């Protein structure tokens, strides 16, 4: 999976902030076995969005998901900050599983983002 992050895109910056708080997410599998996340709203206390790698029930996703963004490789749907955060988190967890010696057990379990010098 390819994830494009741009310092010029506020949605990308917010996605990184949300992904850094992944230890506060609810995580489960739906009836079809797909991994689903309950991602807390940044603006509404006690509000969680139901998010997968390709969908979210937030207003931004519902409003903009059908907009197709031009990409160098292919056309891709415009993802909201919650979907981007879930994708970042899943890629971080996958990368940590591929290189288990580089992260502590606690870091792998919590799935935090961290800065590497």
- Residue 87: per-residue pLDDT: 94
What is the pTM (predicted TM-score) of this model? 0.74
Q: How many CA atoms lie within 13 A of 68 on its CB side?
A: 6
- Residue 102: per-residue pLDDT: 58
- Residue from 16, 111, 39, 91 nearest 7 by CA: 16
- Residue 6: per-residue pLDDT: 80
- Residue 64: per-residue pLDDT: 81
Distances in Å between the alpha carbon of 33 and those of 29, 30, 72, 101? 5, 5, 32, 29
* 117 burial via Cβ count (<10 Å: 0-12, 13-18, 19+): exposed
- Which residue carries 């981007």 as its tokens? 84
- Residue 72: per-residue pLDDT: 44
- Residue from 10, 7, 18 nearest 88 by CA: 18
Averaged over successive runs of 10 residues, the pLDDT of the chain (117 residues) comes to 77 93 94 95 94 93 70 60 94 84 52 54
Question: 3-state class of 64 per DSSP?
Answer: helix
- Residue 73: per-residue pLDDT: 46
């Amino acid at each position: 999976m390819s994830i494009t992050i741009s310092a010029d895109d506020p949605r990308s910056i917010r996605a990184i902030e949300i992904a850094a708080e992944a230890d506060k997410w609810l995580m489960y599998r739906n009836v079809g076995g797909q991994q689903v996340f309950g991602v807390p709203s940044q603006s509404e206390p006690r509000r969680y969005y139901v998010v997968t790698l390709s969908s979210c029930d937030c207003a931004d996703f519902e409003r903009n998901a059908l907009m197709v963004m031009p990409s160098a490789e292919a056309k891709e749907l415009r993802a909201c900050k919650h979907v981007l955060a879930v994708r970042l988190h899943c890629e971080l967890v996958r990368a940590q599983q591929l290189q288990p010696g580089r992260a502590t057990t606690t870091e792998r379990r919590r799935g935090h983002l961290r800065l590497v010098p």
